[in-house]
Structure 1
Amino acid sequence: MTEAAPAHELAQVNIARLKAPLDSPQLKDFVDSLDPVNADAEAADGFVWRLLSENGNATDVSVFGDPWLIVNMSVWRDTDALTAYMYQGRHREMLARRREWFEQVREAMVTLWWVPKGHCPTVAEAEARLLHLRAHGPTPYAFTLRTSFPQGSAEPVPGEVPNGLGCSA
């Protein structure tokens, strides 16, 4: 008997507050690394999709209506595939330097959730998941790598999803 293919994939969003404009000398190394790091992601085992705008990355995609925030959103086969990519090669090098480029923020800036296979999440969906994580901590609706939930546990528990928390459309 063959095992059925998973019906869900892992969506992730992370946002960051810039310390300087993207075209500043302070962010030059970050901006210069975007294309190679994104190419590494696309070639990684378990990569499914990433948010793109016409410029080939997502640095000009608005999130929470704040021009100082940038967004990275992608879909992966599972948490193992995402973790394997995050902590190796150029991406790991960029993680080590993130405090040079981004403000330290107290609230959660990263969240994960399961999506039906083939679904590409929207920025509004990601904003709602992140706000949910901030309001409720990790749940099957929005979680972290440290506190994750099994594939298919993407449905919100009644009463968990906050209303009116300012998600942009």
Structure 2
Amino acid sequence: MAQGWHLAQINIGRLVAPRGDPRVQPFFDALDRVNALADQSPGFIWRLQDESGNAMGISYSPDPLLAVNMSVWEDADSLFEFVYRSAHTPVMAKRREYFERFEGAYQALWWIPAGTVPTVSDGLSRLWLLDRFGPCPQAFSFKARFPAPGEAGVPVDHQPDPWCMGNA
């Protein structure tokens, strides 16, 4: 666990159809179950949600099919376990059935001071940074993880863009 830091994540996607359409209904039917699983997962701290308990009813853009999800975790390993080694995994494996192929970065990870709640604007800016400059300490991916600020270590499997290395 990173002392004094938590890991924020954002992922976005464009649904293939609006809520209520049979093509995406299985995704919406799984939301409550997957969100409850996240809430109970080791290392989970926070997730974006509205009154219904999920983030799907919050509008972020003029495109009503754009879906945004954000959460905060103690560390990358906790998030990785939830995403790739829990009951979330089979639902995520069907994402191509529910979401269009996304051009550009659709997921970004970044470190935040413990106790901070990121905004959607924070997350969207991290996606832009990742898309524009590639993985760096301010916006990275599971494949190219960076250690929390002040911790020793090198990124996993990646040489960062020099621009990102000099800009916090």
- TM-score interval w.r.t. the shorter chain? 0.7 to 0.9
Aligned to 1:7: 4
The answer for unaligned runs of 5 or more in structure 2 is 151-163
Q: Residue 111 of structure 1: SS of its match in structure 2?
A: strand
Q: 1:122 aligns with which of 101, 119, 122?
A: 119
2:22 maps to 1:25: yes
**C-alpha offsets along residues 117-157 of structure 1, whole Å, 9 cap, x if unaligned?**
0111000111111111111000001000100110126xx75
In 2: Cα distance, 1:33 partner to 1:125 partner: 27
In 2: Cα distance, 1:67 partner to 1:90 partner: 28
Matched residue type, 1:37: V
Q: Is the 8 A contact 2:2 2:74 kept in 1?
A: no
Q: Is the 8 A contact 1:129 1:141 kept in 2?
A: yes
Aligned to 1:36: 33
Deviates more, 1:78-87 or 1:63-72: 63-72
Q: Is the 8 A contact 1:64 1:127 kept in 2?
A: no
In 1: Cα distance, 2:76 partner to 2:35 partner: 18
Aligned to 1:152: 149
Number of matched pairs: 155
Q: 2:78 aligns with which of 73, 77, 81?
A: 81
In 2: Cα distance, 1:67 partner to 1:112 partner: 24
CA RMSD of superposed structures (Å): 1.8
Normalised TM-score (structure 1):
0.86
Matched residue type, 1:77: E
Q: Residue 26 of structure 1: SS of its match in structure 2?
A: coil
Aligned to 2:103: 106
2:44 maps to 1:51: no
Percent identity of the aligned residues?
A: 44
2:136 maps to 1:139: yes
In 2: Cα distance, 1:126 partner to 1:5 partner: 20
Q: Is the 8 A contact 1:49 1:75 kept in 2?
A: yes
In 1: Cα distance, 2:29 partner to 2:117 partner: 26
Q: Runs (4+) of structure 1 moved beyond 6 Å?
A: none
